[in-house]
Structure 1
Amino acid sequence: MDVSLTLWALTILGLCALVAADFFIGGRKPHEVSLKEAGIWTAVWVALAGLFGLGLLLFGGGQPAGEFFAGFITEKSLSVDNLFVFVLIMAKFAVPPVYQQRVLMVGVLIALVLRAVFIGAGAAIIANFSWIFYLFGAFLIWTAWKLIQEARAGEEEEEFEENRFLKLVEKRFPSTDRYHGTKLFVVENGKRLMTPMLIVMLAIGTTDVLFALDSIPAIFGLTQDPYIVFTANAFALMGLRQLYFLIGGLLKKLVHLSYGLSVILGFIGVKLVLHALHENGVGVPEISIPVSLGVICAVLVVTTITSLRASRKQAEAVPQAGAEAEALKAATAAPEGGKAGDAARV
């Protein structure tokens, strides 16, 4: 897709306008985000992404539109995995609920800027080194296998571990031990101090770099168009704040999410390897965008259904196990009571 510099500029300005509208309408005043507000804004961002995809369909054709929707759905599903870490970060820094939406807004913007750098670097590498598709494909397949291993082992992070960048910032710049509203810096005893608000924002933004290591190669496996890669990432990330509050309580119920993501990453990894072989003249079939989109959607639907069923069965098993334990306790206590009664009669 041939994108002019003017279209790039207009797109970035449009996205900035949407972010500004999101901030002034729903994010300027610190408050606890209700499910209704989160649901409305999540629907708005999904609708905006849909309208953008339809625009690509009208002016660019079916290929760019299909690539955008496949990329957007993939990035959105991978971003849900980010929310697990965001929950840990919020707990680690004890962020008050009233300030969480401001933290997520700035953190996601930092992540978007860093991803733009990653996308630019990835596009430049792909343009000059076609063999990078083999590396991307192998990395995605390895990541998929790692996700499956972690899911089968039942490994769960219980605490967020700060990265080197955060440790360096905290070491170089003194900070306060409590929040001061939404202020990033305060002056105490004549010293300018950083607040935990800034630290947690940097934690959200920089931690997303780790997730970009698999999400960026994944979307380049669906399209090599930098414009589509960037816009799909932008729309997926900008609705992440509202999604955090909307499905925060459902995250623990998505017990099979890692399996679904591993299938998607592995599938795209195979697609990348096949594409690289095809580019090198090897007679192998390539996986089309409609097939990719169908596979991604089907995996997500199946994963969601099986996760909810497994969570419901687990929830039903807990009261039943408690009742059985109480019954066993009563049964073992009954003979002792009988013996005590017999002793009393004697």
Structure 2
Amino acid sequence: MLEISGLEWVITIGVIIALLAVDLVLAWWRPHRVGFGEATAWSVFYIVIALLFGVVFAMVHGWDFGTQYFTGYIVEKSLSVDNLFVFVIIMTTFAVPEEHQHKVLTFGIVLALIMRAIFIVVGATLLNYFSFMFLVFGLLLLWTAVQLYRHKDEEPDIEDNLIVKSARRLFPVTEEYDGGKLFTRENGRRVATPLFIVLVAIGGIDLLFALDSIPAVFGVTQEAYIVFCANAFALLGLRALFFLVKGLLDRLVYLSTGLAIILAWIGVKLVLHWGHVDISPAIPEIPTMLSLVVILVILVVVTVASLIKTRNDPSVTAKPGSLRARKEHTDQGR
């Protein structure tokens, strides 16, 4: 059982808030187009911070917990790449000016952290009191894996999102951006700008990804502290990673397939853990180290295979995948 003191929690949360504050200040006070060099520097910085934290954490609490952290971090980092796909679609759909993309991403990261912190508390409580929740989480991940694989060549319909449609019904929206404002005045009345709808869309997507990613990382570890840190450090580098790899995302044609396999693997791991605890100790469990190796191998194979595929056929472009068919597809089938 991992024992984390109140001081460790305070220091960890303080460091994360400080890093978020730096991103927030840069986004709101110096809106600009983020170049490749800047994106690379920030990406390396956040990865190094995450790795250093993992090493220090493992040295203090043992490498068994350290392995759980690194596995959880890699799972969340790989899922965050799919999150980036959807962010690109949102930015493109609403034609977000480049100087405001930094601000939108930072908002998305902050909101994602808040949502995931809430889900972590709820998930840890449920697992602590109801062991059958391992089975529920496992089946949820298996369902998600199947749906993601079925719709791996599709894109989520942002405009069909319930939260986005509700926001459009509640607020009149202008056609043009007004700098970095969320609301402006048009013909004497207060109206929302497209930037407001973009933030609403980002929030809705964050909620959906939190529902998938939290059960996934609980399949690696049941320690709430490790789950929180793996999520936080994976998300902190998301803004810089967006500007670094958005040109490469189109080439990761097998990413959705790889993520579906990873989610299915973790789903099976959770179901076996439930069986081991609630049915019979004879039911085997999947070791965390084996999961780490399997996930790394899947990611390497997916990346290499994708790059080979797009090199041989440049017309092929990647899709982020979806958990359901686009509305126009279902309408055509009626």
Give the TM-score normalised by structure 2. Answer: 0.88
Map of 1:93 onto structure 2: 94
**Once the 2 structures are TM-superposed, how far is the Cα of residue 16 of structure 1 from its aligned partner?**
0.7
Map of 2:77 onto structure 1: 76
1:66 equivalenced with 2:64 (yes/no) = no
What percentage of aligned pairs have identical amino acids? 48
Higher helix share: 1
**Once the 2 structures are TM-superposed, how far is the Cα of residue 235 of structure 1 from its aligned partner?**
1.0
Length, aligned pairs only:
314
Check the 8 A contact 2:23/2:106 in 1, yes or no. no
Cα offsets for 1:160-210 (capped at 9, x unmatched): 234222222232233333212112233455543332222212211221211
Map of 2:39 onto structure 1: 38
Cα offsets for 1:2-39 (capped at 9, x unmatched): 12333222211111101112334576311111111111
Q: How does 1:332-343 map to 2 (within 5 A)?
A: none
Map of 1:206 onto structure 2: 204
Cα offsets for 1:114-145 (capped at 9, x unmatched): 11111111111111110011111122122222
2:262 to 239, 261, 264: 264
Check the 8 A contact 1:256/1:303 in 2, yes or no. yes
Alignment partner of 1:181: what SS? Answer: coil
**Once the 2 structures are TM-superposed, how far is the Cα of residue 106 of structure 1 from its aligned partner?**
0.8
Map of 1:234 onto structure 2: 232
Q: How does 1:277-296 map to 2 (within 5 A)?
A: 277-280=275-278, 281-296=280-295
Distance (Å, rounded) in 2 between the aligned partners of 1:158 and 1:135: 25
Residue 193 and residue 161 in structure 1: after superposition, are their counterparts in 2 closer, same or farther (change >3 A)?
closer
Q: How does 1:61-210 map to 2 (within 5 A)?
A: 61-151=62-152, 155-157=153-155, 159-188=157-186, 190-210=188-208
Cα offsets for 1:91-116 (capped at 9, x unmatched): 22111112111111112211211111
Check the 8 A contact 1:116/1:230 in 2, yes or no. yes
Give the TM-score normalised by structure 1. Answer: 0.86
Distance (Å, rounded) in 1 between the aligned partners of 2:59 and 2:156: 47
Map of 2:217 onto structure 1: 219
Map of 1:314 onto structure 2: 313
Comparing 84-93 with 181-190, greater Cα deviation is found at: 181-190
Residue 164 and residue 145 in structure 1: after superposition, are their counterparts in 2 closer, same or farther (change >3 A)?
closer
Map of 1:301 onto structure 2: 300
Comparing 227-236 with 170-179, greater Cα deviation is found at: 170-179
Distance (Å, rounded) in 2 between the aligned partners of 1:244 and 1:27: 18
Larger Rg: 1
Regions of 4+ moved over 6 Å: none
Map of 1:341 onto structure 2: none
Distance (Å, rounded) in 2 between the aligned partners of 1:198 and 1:220: 33
Q: Which runs of 5+ in 2 are unaligned?
A: 317-334
Alignment partner of 2:191: what SS? Answer: strand
Check the 8 A contact 2:135/2:270 in 1, yes or no. yes
Map of 2:331 onto structure 1: none
Residue 190 and residue 4 in structure 1: after superposition, are their counterparts in 2 closer, same or farther (change >3 A)?
farther
